[in-house]
């Protein structure tokens, strides 16, 4: 309601400044200031008044128009009142109001995404050299570092955050079927297209020149689809953090007075990551429906989009809860380096990749098959692996390299990749 009122009043002020509209005198600075205060100070009580009027009108935008006229009766000249909502359709007001709401909601959401990025960035730098076991298909795989794995999520989120910030919301302001029919009939000598463009852009939105009665919501759909991608990345992060906790790579902090289970006293549950996942599922369900359906309308107008778009704030709200739950979850974790080392030491077979790669390099016959015979589906020790390497007839330099190798050291460029992420712009 507040944003609708803002559009109505700013439109009235803009009309008053048009010299070709002689029937509407230009407002004084005092009149403009008082008129703007009506939406700037819009309160819950004001909203209740509008709803009371709406019971009579059965029309939300018309109710707001009557409310504004009643409130400004003693402020503006009587000749001004019939220029409220002049030549407009409700969608001219609503599409701009919902764009304002989406824009302001995204500001809050983006601030919290930035906080999550800060947490991920700080941890990625701190743990860039902290070795840990990888799991591909749930099985032990070539080692990595904790910092590099967190940097992957930082990198993905930062790309999508930038894409979200580049989207400029659009608005239309061209009357009942987008043709300025009533405008031109009343004032044929005015450049209504230029007026509408200046008005919409003056409100901080991109002007949509060509529409039906409704703004087609294509740009809003782009926002919703980007939010879905961001939420999916966060859900992916939630699941990985949950699994790290399950493996013991992360310890959960025991907070005095808190209870993990109603019956199992020992438990500390990673519920914040689980809560985040749940909220994302709800948010993305709504966002997906909005993106898919808002862009479809029968002929020049039907009201299905009006019903749908009222839920954009709910979707952003659930998305916001998810982000907050995720960074709250991070605040309760400690990296268990000893556990990470234990996993690496218990899975020396992960460096068989390194051995067969060196054997390929030096021309050893069927190196992959040799390592497969030694290790596939078997539990081998580092000593077993080293004994195999000692038996090989390969250059001493390469043999020495392999004998010195441990899972902890076999992380390639992981630490350097993290440094590069924060050194160069994404």
Q: Are strands 139-145 and 131-136 parallel, antiparallel or unpaired?
A: antiparallel
What Cα–Cα distance (Å) separates residue 353 from each residue in 145, 376, 377?
Answer: 17, 12, 15
306 is catalytic: no
d(CA 361, CA 426): 35
Q: What is the CA radius of gyration of the chain?
A: 31
Indicate which residue of 137, 262, 266, 391 is catalytic: 137
d(CA 18, CA 345): 78
> What single-letter DSSP state applies at residue 190?
S
> What single-letter DSSP state applies at residue 324?
H
> Three-class SS string for 272-290?
HHHHHHHHHHHHHHHHHHH
Four-CA torsion 87, 91, 94, 96, nearest 10 degrees: -80
> What single-letter DSSP state applies at residue 424?
S
d(CA 172, CA 297): 16
d(CA 164, CA 228): 11
d(CA 259, CA 254): 9
183 is catalytic: no
Indicate which residue of 26, 79, 261, 304 is catalytic: 261
Q: Are strands 206-207 and 170-171 parallel, antiparallel or unpaired?
A: parallel
Helices (H), 294-347: 304-309, 312-330, 337-345
Catalytic residues: 137, 261
């Amino acid at each position: 309601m507040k944003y609708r009122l803002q559009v109505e009043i700013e439109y009235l002020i803009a009309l008053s400044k048009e010299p070709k509209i002689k029937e509407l005198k230009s407002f004084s600075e005092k009149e403009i200031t008082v008129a703007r205060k009506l939406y700037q100070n819009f309160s819950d009580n004001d909203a209740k008044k509008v709803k009371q009027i709406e019971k009579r009108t059965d029309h939300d935008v018309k109710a707001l128009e009557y409310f504004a006229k009643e409130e400004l009766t003693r402020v503006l000249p009587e000749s001004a009142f019939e220029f409220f909502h002049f030549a407009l359709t409700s969608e001219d007001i609503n599409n701009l109001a919902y764009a304002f709401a989406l824009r302001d909601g995204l500001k809050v959401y983006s601030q919290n995404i930035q906080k999550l990025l800060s947490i991920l960035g700080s941890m990625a730098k701190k743990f860039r050299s902290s070795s840990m076991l990888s799991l591909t298909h749930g099985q032990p795989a070539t080692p990595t570092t904790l910092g590099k794995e967190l940097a992957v999520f930082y990198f993905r989120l930062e790309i999508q955050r930038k894409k979200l910030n580049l989207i400029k919301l659009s608005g239309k302001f061209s009357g009942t079927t987008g043709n300025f029919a009533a405008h031109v009939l009343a004032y044929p000598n005015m450049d209504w297209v230029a007026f509408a463009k200046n008005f919409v852009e003056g409100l901080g939105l991109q002007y949509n020149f060509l529409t039906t009665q409704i703004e087609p919501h294509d740009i809003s759909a782009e926002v919703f689809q980007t939010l879905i991608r961001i939420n999916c990345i966060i859900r992916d992060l939630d699941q990985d953090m949950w699994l790290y906790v399950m493996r013991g790579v992360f310890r959960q902090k025991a907070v005095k007075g808190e209870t993990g289970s109603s019956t199992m006293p020992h438990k500390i549950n990673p519920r914040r990551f689980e809560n985040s996942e749940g909220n994302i599922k709800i948010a993305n369900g709504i966002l997906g429906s909005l993106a898919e359906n808002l862009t479809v309308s029968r002929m020049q107008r039907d009201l299905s989009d009006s019903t749908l778009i009222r839920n954009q704030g709910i979707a952003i709200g659930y998305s916001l809860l998810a982000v907050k739950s995720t960074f709250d979850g991070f605040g309760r974790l400690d990296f268990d380096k000893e556990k990470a080392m234990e996993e690496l030491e218990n899975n020396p077979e992960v460096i068989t990749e390194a051995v067969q790669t060196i054997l390929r390099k030096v021309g050893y016959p069927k190196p992959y098959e040799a390592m497969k015979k030694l290790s596939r589906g078997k539990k081998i020790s580092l000593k077993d692996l080293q004994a195999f390497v000692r038996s090989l007839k390969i250059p001493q330099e390469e043999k020495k390299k392999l004998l010195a190798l441990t899972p902890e050291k076999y992380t390639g460029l992981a630490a350097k990749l993290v440094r590069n992420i924060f050194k160069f712009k994404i």
